[in-house]
Amino acid sequence: MKMFASERRDNIIQFLQKQKRATVKELASQIGVSEATLRTDLNRMETDGLLTRTHGGAVLNTEEENDTSFSVREKKNKQEKIQIAKKAYEMIEEKQCILLDASSTALELARYIKSKPMRLTVVTSGLQSALELNNNPDITVILIGGMLTKGSSSIEGTLGLSILDYLTIDMMFTSSNGFSIESGLTDFNLYEVQLKKEIVKKAKKVVALIDSSKIEKNSSAVFATLDQIDKLITDKPIDHNLSEKILINDIKIVVSS
């Protein structure tokens, strides 16, 4: 069966995450495509900033690998994330059931919500968000079950998704490693992506919390296409041409600053 380019790309990233570097020959053999096709994929992935081409092969970008560390991501653009979280809070209404993913921006939203006297049900795949909210007596916290991501505080995989069959998610607040017109919302951890893809399908509305450093960037795997996103909250005004394209796709843009 023919493999799509996105599937090949996911497989390349997975292989490089394990091996750190690989030759074109190794990758072509592993994925089951010609070396010519593989070279085209690698060149495109280098353009997207996912890897660096070496003589006869490729290595993952160190910065991209470091970005997967939650402690690193949490500190990056922290003030922008706090601004975005405050703006996101304005969209939440009493007695709603909202969902927070395991992103560092959603964690800032959880920290902001925890001191507010509002009755809510919060479903989350982030352990830290759950712990932040658990001390507020007005908030019912539901943690999605699954495997704990190594070196992080997020849940991955779809083992615990069945709990969502008993809930109505009014709004999902999610962040990503990248947002682009071509791909929508993309992330690096393929296992977290698998979970987020399923959650997106179950939410009535999807609100993307994206600081300006992630706009027009791509990561390795798509979890929400443009037609699945309802609102985009960011910290700075978006370039006019890009914002026009976003608005054409019926996505409302909200600037937090």
pTM, two decimals, is 0.74
In angstroms, what CA-CA distances link 7 with 12, 61, 182? Answer: 9, 20, 16
- C-alpha to C-alpha distance for 229 and 183, rounded to whole angstroms: 12
Cα–chain center distance at 248? 22
Per the CB < 8 A criterion, the answer to whether 121 and 87 are in contact is no
Q: Output the pLDDT for position 253.
A: 98
198, burial (CB in 10 Å: exposed 0-12, middle 13-18, buried 19+)? middle
Q: Output the pLDDT for position 50.
A: 74
248, burial (CB in 10 Å: exposed 0-12, middle 13-18, buried 19+)? exposed
Q: Would you list the domain boundaries of the chain?
A: 5-67, 79-255
Please report, in tens digits, the pLDDT of each residue of the chain (257 residues total).
Answer: 566 676 787 788 878 877 778 999 999 998 889 999 989 988 887 776 677 888 889 987 654 444 445 555 555 678 999 999 999 999 999 999 999 999 999 999 999 999 999 999 999 999 999 999 998 999 999 999 877 766 667 777 777 788 889 999 999 999 999 999 999 999 987 778 888 999 999 999 999 999 999 999 988 889 999 999 999 999 999 999 999 999 999 999 999 97
Q: Output the pLDDT for position 62.
A: 55
End-to-end CA distance of the chain: 49
- C-alpha to C-alpha distance for 180 and 195, rounded to whole angstroms: 20
Cα Dmax for the chain: 59
Local structure of 153: helix, strand or coil: coil
Q: Output the pLDDT for position 252.
A: 98
Per the CB < 8 A criterion, the answer to whether 9 and 23 are in contact is no
* Identical fold, 5-67 and 79-255: no
Helix 35-47, helix 24-31: angle, nearest 10: 110
Local structure of 185: helix, strand or coil: strand
Q: Output the pLDDT for position 76.
A: 65
Architecture of domain 5-67: Orthogonal Bundle (1.10)
* Partners of 141 in the β-ladder: 122
Q: How many other β-carbons are positioned within 10 Å of the β-carbon of residue 47?
A: 9
- C-alpha to C-alpha distance for 40 and 43, rounded to whole angstroms: 5
Local structure of 103: helix, strand or coil: coil
Q: Output the pLDDT for position 1.
A: 52
Q: For residue 215, give the amino acid letter.
A: I
Architecture of domain 79-255: 3-Layer(aba) Sandwich (3.40)
- C-alpha to C-alpha distance for 202 and 83, rounded to whole angstroms: 27
